Structure 1
Amino acid sequence: MRLANSVLGVVPAVGCTAYAVSATDPWPRIAALLAFLASAVVAVRGYRLGVTCVHADVTVRGYLRTRVIPRDSIVAITDFPAVRWTAPNGRKRWTPISAFMTSSREPVRISEAKEAAVAQLRRWVTRPKRRRRRRR
């Protein structure tokens, strides 16, 4: 799945390279270079798409940004899939999870794996917190 998520950046990068090689003027080459750099960023970010649950935080890596959400502020994990949460200032927030979005054109096995990952995230968010035992 990681390579499939990277294609969103790799394909345009290849196109930008081909255009830059065939261009004769400097401005189209500069534009192609900038588009190539943006495509490379999307390709790397696509490879790293995902969700990590560590200690009391959920880290959601998307194509353009990474957000760390405290577990205590999470309200729900939606079917979209997205994380609904409340910011410290009380504002309601919504963070989509690009890595777990399903498509009708993808293989059933992959869709099922993504749905299982969303279910696992829901279980992690709703499980009771462990309390540390104090040593005497």
Structure 2
Amino acid sequence: MKKIEVVAGIIYFGNEILCVQRPKNKLTYISEKFEFPGGKIEKEESKKDALKRELIEELNFVPTAIGDLFLTVVHRYPDFELTMHCFKCYAKTKDIQLNEHISSEWLTIKDLSKLDWAEADIPIVNRLIEDGEIV
């Protein structure tokens, strides 16, 4: 089974978190699902550098800070295994540009569960809800 290692950012603006929606995809189990933005780690790249690069590529966004590792999720989809390293990030603005996603929402933690999340992102959502409003 193909293994993919990625990073994702839990981006805070005040008490809201950025949630982005994937475009239609031939892989129906991730098509149009919500996720935390991020992407693949390139060779010789640190996780935080990869996250910063991916946020610029996907959102034209540079976080004011990237915190320590929040959670690593390993999830098996039907066609690949995903290892996702998630970091809390902080923003001074909600000004983003969707270069790869079809929509975005800024939600408080209590509203995160209303979205249709990609399966690998659900443990992150659950942990955020368990931890409460701590940023």
TM-score of the aligned structures, taking structure 1 as reference length: 0.21
Higher relative contact order, structure no. (Cα contacts within 8 Å, ≥ 6 residues apart): 2
TM-score, length basis structure 2: 0.21
